Amino acid sequence: LTAHRDPRLDRDAVDLLHGAGLIPTARYLDAVQAVRDAPAWNAWARGALLALGAGQLLAGVVFFFAYNWNDLTPFARFGILEVSILISVIAALTTGLERALGKTLLIAASLLTGTLLAVIGQVYQTGADAYDLFAAWAVLIAPWVLASASAVHWLMWLVISLTAYVLYWRQVLQPLGAVSETELSVILAGLVGLVLGIRELAAGAGIDWIRRPWTRMLPLFAALLFLFMPALVWILEESVEPLGLLMFVPASLAALLGYGSGRADLAAVSVAGGFVALAVMAGGARVLADTVGFDWSSAGRILTSLGLLALWCTLVTSGAVVLLNRLRARQRGPV
Amino acid sequence: MTMDLGELCDRAGCDRQAALELLAEAHATQSGIGLPWHARALIGLTAWITALVTVTLGIAVLYAGLGVDPLRGVPLTSLGALFLGSGLWGLGRHADRGVFVEQASTALAAAGLAMISAGVGLATEELWVAALAAVVLLGLVVETGPGTVLQFLAAALALALVLLTLVLERVPYFLDLASLTVPLGLFLLLHPPRIDLRPTAVVLLLGLPLLELASAWTGAADAIRPGGWGARIMCIAGFVAVIALLRRHTRSPIGRRNYLLVGGGGIVLGALLPPGGSATLAILLAAYALGSPGLSVVGALLFVAFLWELYYDLQMTLLGKSLVLMSSGLVLLGLWWLAGRSRAGENAR
pLDDT at site B134: 95
Among the ranges given (A54-63, A141-150, A326-335, B237-246), the one the predictor scored with the smallest mean pLDDT:
A326-335
Residues B50-57 have a mean pLDDT of 89
Shortest Cα distance, chain A CAs vs residue B126, angstroms:
30
Give the gap in angstroms from C-alpha A105 to the nearest C-alpha of chain B: 13
Question: DSSP states of A113-161 as a string?
Answer: HHHHHHHHHHHS-----HHHHHHHHHHHHHHHHHHHT-HHHHHHHHHHH
CB-closest option in A42, A56, A316 to B325: A56
Q: Give the range among A253-267, A290-304, B7-21 with minimum mean pLDDT.
A: B7-21
pLDDT(B178) > 80: yes
Confidence (pLDDT) at B94: 58
Are B193 and A25 in contact (CB < 8 Å)? yes
Mutate to test the interface with A, among B50, B284, B323 (most CBs of A within 10 A): B50
How close B25 gets to chain A, by Cα (Å)? 9
The answer to whether the Cβ–Cβ distance between A11 and B5 falls below 8 Å is no
Please judge whether B319 and A37 are an interchain contact, meaning their C-beta atoms are less than 8 angstroms apart.
no
pLDDT value for B97? 61
Chain B positions in Cβ-Cβ contact with residue A58 (cut-off 8 Å): 329
State the pLDDT confidence band at B348, using cuts at 50, 70 and 90: low
pLDDT at position B223, please?
56
Query: Which candidate in A8, A15, A32, A56 is best for mutational testing of the B interface (most B CBs within 10 A)?
Result: A56
Q: Do B65 and A17 touch (CB under 8 A)?
A: no
Q: Tell me if chain B has a CB within 8 Å of the CB of A13.
A: yes
The closest CB to that of A313, out of B49, B196, B332, belongs to B49
Specify the range with the lowest mean pLDDT, choosing from A47-51, B92-96, B165-169.
B92-96
Confidence of residue A335 (pLDDT cuts 50, 70, 90): very low
The Cα of B54 is separated from the nearest Cα of chain A by a number of Å equal to 6
What pLDDT is attached to residue B29? 65
**Lowest mean pLDDT across A43-52, B120-129, B184-193:** A43-52
Note the pLDDT tens digit of each residue in A206-263.
888 888 888 899 999 999 999 999 999 998 876 678 888 899 999 999 999 988 887 6
Give the nearest partner residue to A63 out of B50, B284, B322, using CB atoms.
B322
> Which pLDDT score is estimated for B17?
82
Give B143 to chain A, closest Cα distance, Å: 14
Q: Do B5 and A303 touch (CB under 8 A)?
A: no
Q: For chain B, what percent of residues have pLDDT higher than 70? A: 90
Q: Do B328 and A56 touch (CB under 8 A)?
A: yes
- pLDDT class of A4 with cuts at 50, 70, 90: very low
How far apart CA B211 and CA B300 sit, in angstroms, is 17
Task: Supply the pLDDT for residue B1.
Answer: 47
Q: What confidence tier does A334 reach under pLDDT thresholds 50, 70, 90?
A: very low
Alpha-carbon distance A64 to nearest alpha carbon in chain B (angstroms): 5
Q: Verify whether the Cβ–Cβ distance B45 to A274 is below 8 Å.
A: yes
Task: Name which of A36, A270, A318 is nearest B291 (Cβ-Cβ).
Answer: A36
How confident is the model at residue A247, as a pLDDT? 93
CA distance A326 to chain B (A): 11
* CB < 8 Å from B in window 314-333 of A: 314, 316-318, 320-321, 324-325, 328
Cβ–Cβ under 8 Å, residues B199 and B266: no
DSSP B22-73: HHHHHHHHHGGG---HHHHHHHHHHHHHHHHHHHHHHHHIIIIIS---TTSH
pTM above 0.95, yes or no: no
pLDDT digits over A75-132, tens only? 888 888 899 899 999 999 998 988 888 998 999 999 999 988 888 888 887 776 778 8
| Closest B-chain CA to A268 | B38
Phi, psi (degrees; rounded to nearest 5) at A198: -65, -40
pLDDT greater than 80 at residue B251: no
* Proportion of chain B in helix, strand, coil states, percent, rounded to 5: 80, 0, 20
Query: What pLDDT, on a 0 to 100 scale, did the predictor assign at position A43?
Result: 87
User: Measured between beta carbons, which residues in chain A are less than 8 angstroms from residue B26?
Assistant: 13, 16
Closest CA to A61 of A117, A115, A118, A133: A115
pLDDT at position B71 is 76
Do A313 and B323 count as a contact with CB atoms less than 8 A apart?
A: no
pLDDT at B32: 45
Range B123-139 average pLDDT: 93
A107 in reach of chain B (CB within 8 A):
no
A221 Cβ contact list (under 8 Å, min separation 6):
A271
pLDDT at A131: 86
Span B316-326, mean pLDDT? 83
* Contact between chains at B22 and A28 (C-beta distance less than 8 A): no
The mean pLDDT value for A131-157 works out to 92
**Cβ atoms of residues B238 and B188 within 8 Å:** no
A20/B contact by beta carbon, under 8 A: yes
- Contacting residues of A for B317, CB less than 8 Å apart: 67
- Compute the average pLDDT of residues B327-341: 85
Over range B295-314, report the average pLDDT: 81
pLDDT score of A1 more than 50? no
pLDDT confidence of residue A130: 79
Q: Looking at beta carbons, which pairs linking A49-53 to residues 24 or more positions away fall under 8 Å?
A: A49/B332, A49/B333, A49/B335, A49/B336, A49/B339, A50/A100, A50/A101, A50/A104, A50/B333, A50/B336, A51/A104, A52/B300, A52/B303, A52/B329, A52/B332, A53/B329, A53/B330, A53/B331, A53/B332, A53/B333, A53/B334, A53/B335, A53/B336
pLDDT classification of A3: cutoffs 50, 70, 90: very low
Query: Is A293 touching B (CB cutoff 8 A)?
Result: no
In this structure, the number of other CB atoms found within 10 A of the CB of residue B341 comes to: 12
Answer whether A57 touches B (CB < 8 Å). Answer: yes
| A61 in B contact zone (CB under 8 Å) | yes
Question: What number is the average pLDDT over the span B30-59?
Answer: 80
Radius of gyration of chain A (CA): 26
A332 CB neighbour count, 10 Å cutoff:
10
| pLDDT tens digit sequence for A28-77 | 888 888 888 888 888 888 888 888 888 888 888 878 877 877 788 888 88
User: What was the pLDDT predicted at A113?
Assistant: 93
The answer to whether A25 contacts chain B (CB < 8 Å) is yes
Q: Contacts of residue A60 in chain B, CB cutoff 8 Å?
A: 321-327, 329
A53–B contact, CB cutoff 8 A: yes
Find the mean pLDDT for residues B14-30: 77
Residue B248: per-residue pLDDT: 83
